[in-house]
Amino acid sequence: MIEYNYIKTRRNTVNLVQNMNENQLKAILKTEGAVMVIAGAGSGKTRVLTNRIAYLISEKNVLESNILAITFTNKAAKEMKERIYSLVGETSKYIWINTFHSMCVRILRQNIELLGYNKNFTILDVSEQKSIIKNILKELNLSEDSYQPNNILKIISKAKNNMTSVSDMRSQSRFGFMKNVAEIYGHYQNYLKKNSVLDFDDLMLKTIVLFEKHPEVLSIYQNKFQYIHVDEYQDTNVIQYKLIKMLSAVHKNVCVVGDDDQSIYSWRGACSDNIINFEKDYDNVELIFLDQNYRSNSTILDAANAVIKNNTERKEKALWSENKSNRKISIYGALNDKDETDDIARKILELNKEGIKFRDMAILYRTNFLSRSMENSCLSFGIPYKLIGSLKFLQRQEVRDLLAYLNVIVNRADEFSLRRIINVPKRGIGATSMEKIDKYANEYGLSLFEALENIDMIGVSKKITTNVHLLTNLIKKYSNTENYSIDELIIGIYKDSGYENMLKESSDPYAESRIENISELVSSAKQFSSMNDSLIDFISEMSLTSDADDENIEDAVVLSTIHAAKGLEYDVVFIMGLEESLFPSIRDADSSEDERNKMEEERRLAYVAITRAKERLFMSFANRRMQFGSIKMNRKSRFIDEVPKELTHFESAFGSTPSDKKDSNIEQANKFISNLSPKINITKKAKLSNDMNYSTGDIVLHKKFGEGKVLDIKTDSVKVEFDEVGVKILLIEYANLTRKD
| Least confident interval from 8-22, 238-252, 302-316 | 8-22
> What is the pLDDT at residue 76?
84
Phi/psi region, residue 628 (left: phi>0; alpha: psi -120 to 50; beta: rest), is left
Question: Active-site residue among 183, 199, 202, 231?
Answer: 231
What's the rounded mean pLDDT across residues 340-369? 94
pLDDT band at 735 (very low <50, low <70, confident <90, very high): low
> What is the pLDDT at residue 272?
72
Give the separation between CA 32 and CA 228, rounded to whole angstroms: 11
Give the separation between CA 67 and CA 174, rounded to whole angstroms: 46
Question: Active-site residue among 31, 148, 234, 262?
Answer: 262
> What is the pLDDT at residue 731?
62
> What is the pLDDT at residue 588?
59
Give the separation between CA 324 and CA 340, rounded to whole angstroms: 29
User: How confident is the model over 621-630, as pLDDT tens digits?
Assistant: 999 887 666 7
Question: Active-site residue among 202, 232, 360, 487?
Answer: 232
Query: Among this protein's residues, is 262 annotated catalytic?
Result: yes
What's the rounded mean pLDDT across residues 92-119? 90
pTM exceeds 0.75, yes or no: no
> What is the pLDDT at residue 707?
85
State the amino acid at position 512 in one-letter form. E
Give me the DSSP letters along 428-443. Answer: S--HHHHHHHHHHHHH
**Residue 264, SS3 per DSSP:** coil
Question: Active-site residue among 26, 45, 295, 614?
Answer: 45
pLDDT band at 62 (very low <50, low <70, confident <90, very high): very high
Q: Distances in Å between the alpha carbon of 468 and those of 308, 408, 413, 430, 501?
A: 54, 14, 16, 12, 18
State the amino acid at position 221 in one-letter form. Y
> What is the pLDDT at residue 528?
73
Pairing state between β 329-336 and 648-652: parallel
**Residue 248, SS3 per DSSP:** coil
> What is the pLDDT at residue 562?
94
> What is the pLDDT at residue 687?
37
What's the rounded mean pLDDT across residues 480-505? 86
Question: Active-site residue among 46, 91, 481, 657?
Answer: 46
> What is the pLDDT at residue 206?
93
What's the rounded mean pLDDT across residues 530-536? 66
> What is the pLDDT at residue 547?
46
> What is the pLDDT at residue 549?
45
Q: Distances in Å between the alpha carbon of 13 and those of 22, 52, 54?
A: 15, 10, 9
> What is the pLDDT at residue 686?
31
pLDDT beyond 50 at 6: no
Query: Among this protein's residues, is 602 annotated catalytic?
Result: no
pLDDT beyond 70 at 729: no
* Of 552, 550, 570, 551, the residue nearest 560 (C-alpha): 570
731 or 47: which leads in pLDDT: 47
Give the separation between CA 731 and CA 714, rounded to whole angstroms: 9
DSSP alpha helices (H): ranges in 60-175? 74-88, 100-111, 126-139, 149-161, 166-172
pLDDT beyond 70 at 530: no
Identify the bridge partners of residue 286 per DSSP, sorted by sequence position: 35
| Least confident interval from 341-345, 371-375, 525-529 | 525-529
pLDDT band at 350 (very low <50, low <70, confident <90, very high): very high
pLDDT band at 533 (very low <50, low <70, confident <90, very high): low
User: Please, how many CA atoms are within 13 Å of residue 497, restricted to the half-sphere of its CB?
Assistant: 27
User: How confident is the model over 663-715, as pLDDT tens digits?
Assistant: 444 444 444 434 433 333 333 333 343 456 788 888 888 766 778 888 888 76
> What is the pLDDT at residue 303?
97
What's the rounded mean pLDDT across residues 61-65? 93
pLDDT beyond 60 at 202: yes
Helices 486-496, 397-410: inter-axial angle, 10-degree rounding:
110
Give me the DSSP letters along 153-198. Answer: HHHHHHHHHTT--HHHHHHH--SHHHHHHHHHHHHHHHHHHHTTEE
pLDDT band at 654 (very low <50, low <70, confident <90, very high): low
> What is the pLDDT at residue 694?
85
Percent of the chain with pLDDT over 70: 86
User: How confident is the model over 152-199, as pLDDT tens digits?
Assistant: 998 999 889 888 889 999 888 777 888 999 999 999 999 888 888 888
Give the separation between CA 63 and CA 210, rounded to whole angstroms: 26
Q: Do residues 24 and 290 touch, judged by C-beta distance below 8 A?
A: yes
587 or 435: which leads in pLDDT: 435
What's the rounded mean pLDDT across residues 341-360? 95
> What is the pLDDT at residue 313?
82
378 or 552: which leads in pLDDT: 378
Helices H / strands E in the chain, number of each:
31, 21
Cis check: omega of the bond before 384, within 30 degrees of 0: no
pLDDT band at 238 (very low <50, low <70, confident <90, very high): confident
Angle formed at CA 601 by CA 596 and CA 605, multiple of 5 degrees? 145
Query: Among this protein's residues, is 122 annotated catalytic?
Result: no
440 or 523: which leads in pLDDT: 440
Query: Among this protein's residues, is 45 annotated catalytic?
Result: yes
What's the rounded mean pLDDT across residues 523-542? 71
User: How confident is the model over 543-574, as pLDDT tens digits?
Assistant: 655 544 444 467 899 999 999 898 889 999 99
Q: Distances in Å between the alpha carbon of 502 and those of 145, 477, 499, 518?
A: 9, 21, 5, 13
Give the separation between CA 619 and CA 340, rounded to whole angstroms: 10
Query: Among this protein's residues, is 46 annotated catalytic?
Result: yes
What's the rounded mean pLDDT across residues 257-280? 82
Identify the bridge partners of residue 627 per DSSP, sorted by sequence position: 630
Query: Among this protein's residues, is 527 annotated catalytic?
Result: no
pLDDT beyond 80 at 382: yes
> What is the pLDDT at residue 541?
63
Give me the DSSP letters along 691-704. Answer: H-S--TT-EEEETT
User: How confident is the model over 20-53, as pLDDT tens digits?
Assistant: 899 999 999 999 999 999 998 899 888 999 999 9
**Which residues have C-beta within 8 Å of that of residue 99, sequence separation ≥ 6?**
70, 71, 72, 73, 74, 77
Q: Do residues 227 and 261 touch, judged by C-beta distance below 8 A?
A: no
pLDDT beyond 50 at 339: yes
What's the rounded mean pLDDT across residues 413-418? 83
Q: Do residues 484 and 492 touch, judged by C-beta distance below 8 A?
A: yes
Question: Active-site residue among 612, 625, 719, 728?
Answer: 612
Q: Distances in Å between the alpha carbon of 73 and those of 43, 89, 612, 718?
A: 20, 23, 19, 40
> What is the pLDDT at residue 583?
94
> What is the pLDDT at residue 311?
93
> What is the pLDDT at residue 665?
46
* Of 404, 6, 481, 305, the residue nearest 29 (C-alpha): 6
pLDDT beyond 60 at 519: yes
User: Please, how many CA atoms are within 13 Å of residue 299, restricted to the half-sphere of its CB?
Assistant: 18
